[in-house]
Amino acid sequence: MRETVRTRLLPINRSELNALLLLCSFAPLANAQFSVTLNPSVPSPAAVGTQVTWTAVVSGADPGPFWYRFSTRGQVEGHRTVRDFGPENTLGWAAGERDGSYTVEVEARSLGTGERASATSAFTALPNAVGGRPAIRPTMHPLVFLYSAPPCRMGQIMAVYYTSSGQPVQETSAKSCDGVYTMNFYVAGLRPETTYYLKHIVQGPGTVSEGPVLTFRSGQPEFALPVMTKIQPYPPTTQPVLLSGAVFSYLQATDLDGTVIWYYPEIVSFLTRPEPGGSFFAINEVQDADSSRQIVREFDLVGNILLETNAARVSEQLEAMGKRPINAFHHEARRLPDGNILLLAGVEQILTNVQGPGAVNVLGDMIIVMNRDLEVIWAWDGFDHLDPRRLATQNERCTPGVCPPLYLASQANDWMHGNSVSRTPDGNLLFSIRNQDWVVLIDYQDGKGSGQVIWRLGQDGDFRIRSDDPWPWFSHQHDPEFESNGMLSLFDNGNVRWSSDNAVNSRGQVYRLDEVNRVAELVLNSNLGYYSFALGSAQLLLNGNYFFGNGFRADGSGIGEEVNPSGDVVYSIESTAPEYRTFRMKNMYTP
């Protein structure tokens, strides 16, 4: 039986981390009895944005299997770990965010001996904008184009503006000029088979200039996507893009009429969050595969991997620090304001006479923070901070597809089933624990916290509730977060209420919390008209309304609804696929 290990909570500094990793007995590179080469699918030089597949090939002695780590270095960007050690020996890469010289590196590591070998390859990205003229070119994604403009003076900023007939003007995120390199932007949010007109605008202290108008035509999606159908018309809004995290299908973005304007050309388990500038975090779980195949990834609008790691690699770091290993990532991955990455992962432990007679496999959760180089710098284990004797409120068990893959036993008690983590304005962490019907506040303090649970919100928690509803508390909730107005919004699936009365519906809820006196006031409690037994999201819109995602209805569909402050539904759109989360966005670059 695995005994409960209580260790001091991270943070841990870089020198301590490096010393601990030496315990893994990795041999120095010079001692390797094998070598590795790195081969591009497209020879250097090539135009900025060219899609290149890098393949690592090991030769010599065969102490395999091997893991591979890929990284890049640019003249401006510096070193970046793109994919940490794992079994994949190829990496898809776009030739730079700007023209210039790049170095791509692979490090191969033998799992049998710990020996390592590395190889590097230089690659030159040539400018698309030549002769002082901008250029627009397609990418491998039919609804994403690459716009390139000549360099602009340091101290200025540039953005690209584009539109089609009868449609509002869209804009990319602005980028800072450096006066040396060309400016390159992915143009996304395009209706299929549509002609667009675009130009760049440069702004500086007291100056504004524009580039010439270029014309291009978008392509057609290559896959069958979930059908989005507008049920109730929408009012004017500043957030006309709907990003949908479908499960069992392709992720996509549509306008509010349901017309597709973007999609991700790979099926993953969870779209967790969009990030500023046009990137996205996703998690993929693979049942019946080892933990090296359980991944978290950030990708761009074309689908290029910006960073990726796997549960086995993260477990190596955790175990070197005296922590339990994880089995897979699930439900949450997002970037924190300081640039670090916040993750949620599953943790198994065999407990004896705690959640049942004899030895029982129990699945809990771990919150992990990594830096940009995919190094673990802080971790919180639910087994160390919550009482495992408090069972899941509906006595949930893990079944295939409901929980991450299990490795200690074929079944487990689904004790926590956390489904979101967010940073609060004061630097702590808000953690939604679905199967406990709780939202808890964790002492994080931007990496300096103890991990102590500060309070528990929900039935049998630390707050008394102010509401005239006979059943005010949420159950099996999703996506709680403090909004910019100071309120806490969430989607109340209502599973516990529904088990008592099958006529009830899920609700969109907003709470005002008095944390000093531990009083929760329910200021919005909107009956959304449907019951969603799983999935869901909540979001404050710029117009003061809220948008709630009813993720998984009984017929397998999802529906998103905009609700005004009085609780009335003013807009709704239906999807043929269940949706983990939905996001209303200003454009594809602004979450």
What is the percentage of the chain residues whose pLDDT exceeds 90? 90
Residue 389 C-alpha from the chain's centroid = 31
Residue of 154, 197, 146, 206 whose CA lies nearest to 175: 154
Residue type, 191: R
Rounded to the nearest 5°, which phi and psi values hold at 271?
-85, 115
Q: Which two tokens stand for residue 392?
A: 């899941």
Rounded to whole angstroms, the Cα distance separating 268 from 280 reads 12
Rounded to whole angstroms, the Cα distance separating 416 from 368 reads 16
- Contacts of residue 574, defined as CB under 8 A and 6 or more positions apart, other chains included, come to 228, 229, 230, 231, 557, 558, 559
Are 582 and 560 spatial neighbours (Cβ–Cβ below 8 Å)? yes
What is the torsion angle, in degrees rounded to the nearest 10, for the CA atoms of residue 160, residue 161, residue 164 and residue 167? Answer: 140
Per-residue pLDDT reduced to its tens digit, 22-75: 333 333 344 578 999 999 999 999 999 999 999 999 998 777 799 999 999 998
Residue 115 confidence (pLDDT): 93
β-partners of residue 367 are 344, 380
Rounded to whole angstroms, the Cα distance separating 114 from 552 reads 45
Residue 401 confidence (pLDDT): 75
Residue 96 confidence (pLDDT): 72
Residues of the chain with pLDDT below 70 are: 1-31
Per-residue pLDDT reduced to its tens digit, 17-34: 333 333 333 333 445 789
Rounded to whole angstroms, the Cα distance separating 583 from 560 reads 9
β-partners of residue 260 are 254
Q: How far is CA 311 from CA 321, 376, 587, in A?
A: 15, 12, 32
The long-range contacts involving 73-76, CB below 8 angstroms and separated by at least 24 positions, are 73/102, 73/103, 73/105, 74/98, 74/100, 74/101, 74/102, 75/100, 75/101, 75/102, 76/100, 76/178, 76/181
Residue 31 confidence (pLDDT): 57
Element (H, E) at 78: strand 78-86
Where on the phi/psi map is residue 476: left (φ > 0), alpha (ψ -120 to 50), or beta? left
Q: How many CB atoms within 10 Å of residue 283? A: 24
Mode of pairing for the β-strands spanning 145-149 and 183-187? antiparallel
Are 518 and 464 spatial neighbours (Cβ–Cβ below 8 Å)? yes
Residue 76 confidence (pLDDT): 84
Q: Which two tokens stand for residue 236?
A: 């004017």
Give the residue ranges of DSSP H helices in 324-470: 382-385
Rounded to whole angstroms, the Cα distance separating 137 from 159 reads 17
Mode of pairing for the β-strands spanning 270-275 and 260-263? unpaired
Q: How many CB atoms within 10 Å of residue 24? A: 12
Rounded to whole angstroms, the Cα distance separating 125 from 97 reads 9
Mode of pairing for the β-strands spanning 329-335 and 305-310? unpaired
Q: Before 240, cis peptide (omega within 30)?
A: no
Are 125 and 96 spatial neighbours (Cβ–Cβ below 8 Å)? yes
Residue 18 confidence (pLDDT): 35
Sole residue written with tokens 């673990």: 376
Q: Which two tokens stand for residue 498?
A: 């529904």
Rounded to whole angstroms, the Cα distance separating 590 from 171 reads 10
Per-residue pLDDT reduced to its tens digit, 393-444: 999 999 877 899 999 999 999 999 999 999 999 999 999 999 999 999 999 9
Rounded to whole angstroms, the Cα distance separating 536 from 485 reads 21
Residue type, 582: T
Is the pTM of the predicted complex or chain greater than 0.75?
yes
